[in-house]
Chains A and B, each alone.
Chain A
Amino acid sequence: MALIDDLDVPMTEAELERRRFLGLLGSGALGLAGIGTMVAGVGYLEPNAPYEQATRFVVGRPEAIVPGGVLTLREQRVYVVRGQAGVYALSSVCTHLGCVTRHGLGQSEIVCPCHGSAFDMEGRVLSGPARKRLPRLELTLERGEIVVHTTSQVDDDTLLEV
């Protein structure tokens, strides 16, 4: 068997130069193809229309909540609280790692079962690994009914006057 040894073939400087260039071109093309595949792959895997829960829903008339009362919307993971001056909504999802917090009837504390964080009714952290307060969600009044927008957060002193 005779080996055709390309390393032994005499080559001019120009030919070598051409080889290097072609090599570079080839690697570049391979690299581009790789990057393109990755970009397209990520794009493919990214869902464009995830069919999920509505981010906006109607709670009902504000009079339905007694002053100082808390309405727990389990499905939507929201607390609607009626304070002295007005109504506000808190997300009931723990800011630590996303467990659903609990609020016992008549209690002034919201606690998380996962790692033991506790929040007051304003959403402020009382204890435990959570560091951020429970976010306040935007409320609007539409045709006399409260509407919660779960994807839109508002400042921590925003109230819906009723």
Chain B
Amino acid sequence: MSEPTPESAPERGEEESLGSVGAARVVVEEHVSDCRTSDFVDEPMLMTFPHLLVRECVAFLGLSIFLVVMSLCFDAPLESIADPTRTPNPAKAPWYFLGMQELLQYYPPIVAGVLFPALLIIALAIIPYFRVNIERPPLWKSAPWTQVASLWGVVAGLSGVFYFTGSVPIWSLMVPLWAVGLAMTAGALPWRRSRLGIWLQTRSLAFWIFAWFLLAATTLTVIGLWFRGPGWRFTLPWYDGFY
């Protein structure tokens, strides 16, 4: 990598391909054809320098501006000094833990605080090793109605679990579940031609599970953030204010 020197640099625009770069390209091409993107070679390409680097700089600048403006406009909160003898009411965790704090309402700590997060992390970590419907043939390709029936069987079963095992029914997990179930069922309807229909049909099972996870996590967090007041009772943000 040391022999090309600035002096020997060809003039601008010259298309000569370099020995080393060319070799690297062969490697890349072999590699990529293994990855099934054989159309790689024909695709329009750009030089990383400057095109990608400039874009990255712009993205970074945008982020910096956003953060600086945030920091100038909003001060980070600082409450009174820690007092081990007095718990504030309500005691809210940072927002990224509020979903879990919500669940702590319904289940004992070992379930809501240990089992759920552990299962979640393990599930996330191993998602790609499952070959569940991985290449998206329509979920409902064969025997749509039996499949829809079993889908709702599962939905009903899970709803039962969330209804009965929590200290109170956990609507914030059930409603997202039903929403996902409805969307999946919509995918089984015979509207092949429409774009939305095809999109719904070709989502994999993993997609739907993940969608439920996202919906449920968002719901739990939003409830914890805005709808919980003193004593962790349900409240409305315009009623009790924000905590």
Residues of A within 8 A of B (CB): 74-75, 77, 96-97, 99-102, 111-116, 128-129, 131
Contacts and interface: CB of A to CB of B under 8 A. Distances in A.
Contact of B85 (A75, A96, A113): A75
A129 B87 contact: no
B151 to A, nearest CB: 32
Given A101-B87, A129-B108, 17 more contacts: A74-B86, A77-B84, A77-B85, A96-B104, A97-B109, A97-B113, A102-B89, A112-B87, A113-B87, A113-B231, A113-B232, A114-B87, A115-B101, A116-B232, A128-B167, A129-B104, A129-B106
B85 A74 contact: yes
A114 B232 contact: yes
Given A75-B85, A129-B167, A114 B90 contact: yes
B108 A113 contact: no
B156 interface: no
Listed from nearest, the 7 A-B pairs whose CB atoms lie closest are: A113-B89, A99-B87, A74-B85, A116-B232, A116-B231, A100-B87, A114-B91
A115 B85 contact: no
Contacts of B106: 129
B104 A115 contact: yes
Contact of A115 (B84, B86, B88, B105): B105
Nearest to A114: B91
A99 B104 CA distance: 13
Contacts of B104: 96-97, 115, 129
B233 interface: yes
Contacts of B137: none
Nearest to A73: B85
B98 to A, nearest CB: 12
Nearest to A97: B109
A116 B108 contact: no
Interface residues of B, number: 21
Main secondary structure of the interface of B (DSSP, over half): loop
A114 B92 CA distance: 8
Nearest to A74: B85
Identify which of B86, B101, B107, B231 gathers the most chain A CB atoms within 10 Å of its CB. B231
Contacts of B231: 111, 113, 116
20 contacts: A75-B85, A96-B109, A97-B104, A99-B91, A101-B87, A102-B87, A111-B231, A112-B87, A113-B87, A113-B88, A113-B91, A113-B230, A113-B231, A113-B232, A114-B90, A114-B91, A115-B101, A116-B231, A128-B167, A129-B105
Contacts of B84: 77, 100
Nearest to B231: A116
Nearest to A53: B84
Nearest to B101: A115
Nearest to A101: B87
Nearest to A98: B87
Interface in B87-126: 87-91, 101, 104-109, 113
B77 to A, nearest CB: 18
A75 B85 CA distance: 6
Contacts of B230: 113
Contacts of B113: 97
Contacts of A113: 87-91, 230-232
Contacts of A131: 108
